[in-house]
Structure 1
Amino acid sequence: MDILHLFGESSGLKTNLQKSNVLPIRCGEPELDILQQLLPCEISVFPCRYLGLPLSLKKLTKAQIQPIIDQIADQLPGWKADLMTRAGRKVQVQFVLTAMLIYLAMALDFPPWAIKAVDKLRRGFL
């Protein structure tokens, strides 16, 4: 708790412990007890979601990655393609989907099958 207090004093930020979670990685029961005493906030476990992305200690499964692909597909509703010019569709694909893929690639080890699935969605929209 002292480290969070020092951080708050030096940065001017405050930690809201009601909104905070602790995500211990491969900790035993004694370490969890110490964490609970030092940081009076909720202790979560893996796998979990952070900033909309699944986090796991192991390689993500197809079932965990498929909802991400579905979210990307929701950004390209097919009925809108007929209402947009080809240039508009290209801009939609370039700036929306490419930004989403870059974000995913930085955070996750996105498998080749998922990249192919997203490319198929992009081609279908154009």
Structure 2
Amino acid sequence: MLIKCFHAFSLTSGLQASKDKTEIYTCGMKEEQIQEIIHDTGFRRGNLPFKYLGIPISSKRISIGQCENLIEKMTRRIRIWSSKNMSYAGRAQLINVVLLSIHQYWAQVFILPKAVLTKIEGICRAFLWSGKWYSNAPGNISWDKICAPKSAGGLGIKDIQR
């Protein structure tokens, strides 16, 4: 049935599954059934965890270590931006539009560990005040006030901890 579905999809769309890039993931099946599917399709058997569109996919809750890629993506962007002379408003806009979009992409798939959320908040705070991805200096205004809506005098940056 699976092969018929792939064949119907290929006829309809003109696309074909690449045997080099396609893996089969199973759960609760007998080994002989799995081997039969692998033999009939020519696909490989995949194992968890794996990455899909840059996000680690696992059967367990995501760990802090697996979120390093998320943190690295954010800091990489800031390293590029740090060479530019930007105002607080420009940095606030980049935080809202770019950095928190990266966070949101991951947060649609996982409940991120609190330690990761704290790290992301620290990166955003450091970038806002210093223009760098790290800073030990305290901010000029509390983060709660920064995250307040613009109508309340804040910058409207999304508070990811709430």
| SS of 1:77 mapped into structure 2 | helix
Contact 1:47/1:55 (CA < 8 Å) preserved in 2?
yes
Give the match for residue 48 of structure 1: 50
Q: Which has a greater percent of helix?
A: 1
- What TM-score results when the alignment is normalised by the length of structure 1? 0.85
Q: Distance in 2 between matches of 1:54 and 1:122?
A: 23
User: CA offsets per residue over residues 70-111 of structure 1, 9 Å max, x none?
Assistant: 222222128717622222211211111121111111112212
Q: What percentage of residue pairs aligned between the two structures are identical?
A: 23
Q: How many pairs align?
A: 126
Distance across 2 between alignment mates of 1:45 and 1:9 = 29
Report the counterpart of residue 90 of structure 1 in structure 2: 92
Query: Which residue does 2:116 correspond to in 1?
Result: 114
Instruction: Indicate how the Cα distance of structure 1 residues 122 and 75 shifts in structure 2: closer, same or farther if over 3 A, else same.
Output: same
Take 2:50 and 2:61, find their aligned partners in 1: how far apart are those partners? 13
Cα distance change, pair 27–69 in 1 and its aligned pair in 2 (3 A): farther
What TM-score do you get using the length of structure 2 for normalisation? 0.68
Following superposition of structure 1 onto structure 2, how do residues 9-88 of structure 1 map, counting pairs within 5 Å?
A: 9-77=11-79, 80=82, 83-88=85-90
More deviation, 52-61/65-74: 65-74
Measured on the aligned residues, the alpha-carbon RMSD in Å equals 2.1
Higher relative CO (Cα under 8 Å, sequence separation at least 6) belongs to 1
